[in-house]
Amino acid sequence: MDAQQRFAVEIETLAELLPELDYYRILLVDKNADQEAVGEAFRRESRRLHPDRSATLSDEVVKDKANDVYRLINEAWRVLKDPEGRARYDLLLADGVLRMTDDAKAGAASDKRAGDPESAVTHPKAEKYWKMALRDFNDGQFKSCVMNIQFALNFEPGNEVMKEYLEKATKSRDEEESKKEKNPYKLRIM
């Protein structure tokens, strides 16, 4: 197999894998690599997979695929060359987002909000009590947590997330109460 055919096969294979590749994998670099290694990887892959190498091929489909691969290489470099952009991308990548498109960023943010109990409230008065309830829940203050959730539920009675937390907090409060020592012979001094 000559070099042109090998290049065409490699481009076609990469084009099929593009939806599954993150920026690190397209540049063939480790996620923990330093900025210099990322730059070297970009230059290496950019030279190796440049679309000009496919100019002599007769197959227009392969030429288009070579352009798509090269576009992704450049996109990866634009994101990973900036340390702040790279940090943002790493966070999105941890959430399963492979590309830094505006839709992906918005989708990741809405997914995060959907799983975040703090964003479960829509009424402003309920929000005050809900935040106090979450703080109490995290601090293990289940008695006050139950009370604050009940206050919040007055403003949003159909909120399923609050009901779920109320159930958890009530159960934890009851377990805590049952573990307390109850001495019937304890005397009160007045």
**11-37 burial by CB neighbour count: b if 16+ within 10 A, else e?**
bbebbeeeeebbbbebbebeeeeeeee
Give which of 6, 7, 13 is closest to 50, Cα–Cα: 7
Does 73 lie in the same domain as 26?
Answer: yes
Does 121 lie in the same domain as 53?
Answer: no
Kindly report the number of other CB atoms within 10 A of residue 78's CB atom.
Answer: 13
Mapping DSSP to helix (H, G, I), strand (E, B) and coil, where does residue 183 land? coil
pLDDT (tens digit, 0 to 9) for every residue of the chain, 190 residues total?
Answer: 677 788 888 888 888 888 888 889 888 999 888 889 989 999 998 888 888 877 777 778 888 888 888 888 898 898 888 888 888 888 888 877 777 766 655 555 555 555 567 778 888 888 889 989 999 988 999 999 999 999 999 998 988 888 999 999 999 999 888 887 776 666 666 6
Does 149 lie in the same domain as 77?
Answer: no
Does 80 lie in the same domain as 15?
Answer: yes
The domain in which residue 175 lies consists of 117-179
Does 72 lie in the same domain as 11?
Answer: yes
Does 159 lie in the same domain as 72?
Answer: no
Does 13 lie in the same domain as 46?
Answer: yes
| Of the residues 92, 114, 136, the one at which a domain ends | 114
Q: Residue 125: inside a domain, yes or no?
A: yes
Measured in residues, the chain has a length of: 190
- The Cα–Cα gap between 133 and 151 comes to 9
Helices (DSSP H) in the chain: which residue ranges?
A: 3-17, 23-26, 35-48, 60-80, 83-94, 102-115, 124-139, 142-155, 160-179
pLDDT given at position 106 = 58
| Of the residues 57, 87, 114, the one at which a domain ends | 114
pLDDT given at position 169 = 93
Does 121 lie in the same domain as 97?
Answer: no
- The sign of the dihedral angle between the CA atoms of 184, 186, 187, 189 is negative
pLDDT given at position 107 = 57
CB 130 within 8 A of CB 121: yes
The token duo for 48 is 């190796």
| Of the residues 114, 134, 166, the one at which a domain ends | 114
**150-164 burial by CB neighbour count: b if 16+ within 10 A, else e?**
ebbbebbeebeebee
| pTM of the full structure | 0.53
Does 100 lie in the same domain as 134?
Answer: no
